[in-house]
Amino acid sequence: MENYIAKTAKSKILYEEAKNHLPYGVSSNYRYFDPYPLYLSRGKGSRVWDVDGNEYIDFNLGFGVLEVGHANEKIIEEVKNAISESSILGFEYSKSIELAKIIKSRFNVDMVRFSSTGTEATMHSIRIARAYTRKKKIIKFEGHYHGSHDQLLVNVNPLRDGIVPASLGVTEESLSNTIVCEWNNLENFEKIVKSSNDIAGVIMEPVAMNMGLIPTNVEFLKGVFELSKEYGFLTIFDETKTGGKMYSGASGYFNVRPDLIILGKAVAGGFPLSVIGGKREVMSVIGPGKTAHGGTFNSNPISVRVSILTLKEILTQNSINYIISLSKELEKGYNDLAEDLDIDLKVSRWGPSGSVFFSDKMPSNYKDFISTDIQRWNTYFYSMLSQGVIPMGGFNEEWTTSIAHTKEDIQIHLEKAEKSLRLAKEKKTDLKLEEAW
């Protein structure tokens, strides 16, 4: 922490000014951390620079957005071409059809609608599920995050049992049709399903990536799909994070076909675009006089053109294989360091992303996650920042590799991690997340 403060004097000055104009000095709560947030000025390739001029190898990548790397030259050129023909046209943009065809083929969906953010897309998806099934209740999983709209902003990071809103201003009435279940616990899920005849759908991150990266129990996932068919409710994959991490997302990886999927982040190469895709019979409930879906900036020309370029030419199967190979090197490196240093550390990875947990067991759900040693994680995180590596966005996030990262970047990351893990080992306090909060 002392090293972080010493290196980021201008960030502190900027924070003191910013907090007078922006609550906590940021435009998203997830960008704030103590004692003050890091203010970045630019990025290129695998690097970013802060307002003090410090250079960092970036493994946060806009919380998983920039698998194409910062300031990708192909995207810069495409944006120049797009904006010369207008940033927004009002009526439907002609190239939306081309992008829809690409997504249909790559992610095995019948129809799509475009929005701008993951929050919008998940909000619309649960409305679609209710419209299609004519039922009210939505099941979501503890520790999963689906954006900041009221019905799903519950039990994201609770510190007590029961239904726990993740924000002030979320009313009991808005949560009356939300059911919370424990991730990777099929018995719990089956009990909930059998106790209600009014379930419209279940929404999930198919790989949990908002309580660190927690591996998915495939038998659990299989059971969820079987129960959805048996009891007549929809399955919704929120692939805002996972969609760009495998060529066909988590649905392709697990070889399942959800009724609806949400895409965002990496699939648009750093520009605001989200996708609701699904089976034709489900998507057909959308339309004037039927189920509402709208947005002025939906399928804006810049985002659409960049997304077409990203999916066709940049995040190809070969590119995905490359960034996964880099992530595997990180995974192996952390496992080797844990063994060499004899430190309680568990490493999880899926595709180009992964997490480290300071624990003697791999978490399988949110309750396991909050029992990990947060004090050691904090020591590790600030040590990495002070050495010029952004390992991930926060304690509940994961690293992501990009096509701009190199094997040398991975080696530097692991060299800095060795020092950080040594410090973390010395700082053991057994302080759990719930105690820290």
Residue by residue, pLDDT tens for the chain (437 residues) are 889 999 999 999 999 999 999 999 999 999 999 999 999 999 999 999 999 999 999 999 999 999 999 999 999 999 999 999 999 999 999 999 999 999 999 999 999 999 999 999 999 999 999 999 999 999 999 999 999 999 999 999 888 888 899 999 999 999 999 999 999 999 999 999 999 999 999 999 999 999 999 999 999 999 999 999 999 999 999 999 999 999 999 999 999 999 999 999 999 999 999 999 999 999 999 999 999 999 999 999 999 999 999 999 999 999 999 999 999 999 999 999 999 999 999 999 999 999 999 999 999 999 999 999 999 999 999 999 999 999 999 999 999 999 999 999 999 999 999 999 999 998 755 555 555 44
- pLDDT for 433 equals 53
* CB atoms inside a 10 Å sphere around CB 335: 15
Taking a C-beta distance cutoff of 8 angstroms, is the pair 400, 353 a contact? yes
Strands 234-239 and 199-204: parallel
Q: Which two tokens stand for residue 39?
A: 């203010």
CA–CA gap between residue 275 and residue 256 (Å, rounded): 18
User: What SS3 class is residue 270?
Assistant: coil
Instruction: List, in order of start, the domains of the chain with CATH numbers.
Output: 2-67+316-436 (3.90.1150.10), 73-314 (3.40.640.10)
Quick one: pLDDT at residue 141? Answer: 98
According to the model, what pLDDT value does residue 162 have? 85
Burial bucket for residue 228 (CB in 10 Å: 0-12, 13-18, 19+): buried
Specify the pLDDT at position 75: 98
- At residue 113's C-alpha, the angle toward residues 108 and 118, to 5°, is 90
Q: What pLDDT score was predicted for residue 432?
A: 53
Interatomic CA distance for residues 126 and 108, integer angstroms: 20
Single pTM value for the model: 0.95
**Per-residue confidence (pLDDT) for residue 437, from 0 to 100:** 46
User: Which residues are the active-site residues?
Assistant: 145, 238, 265
- What distance in Å separates the CA atoms of residue 255 and residue 243, rounded to the nearest whole number? 14
Q: How far apart are CA 55 and CA 60, in angstroms?
A: 14
Residue 1: per-residue pLDDT: 85
CA atoms within 13 A on the CB side of 99: 30
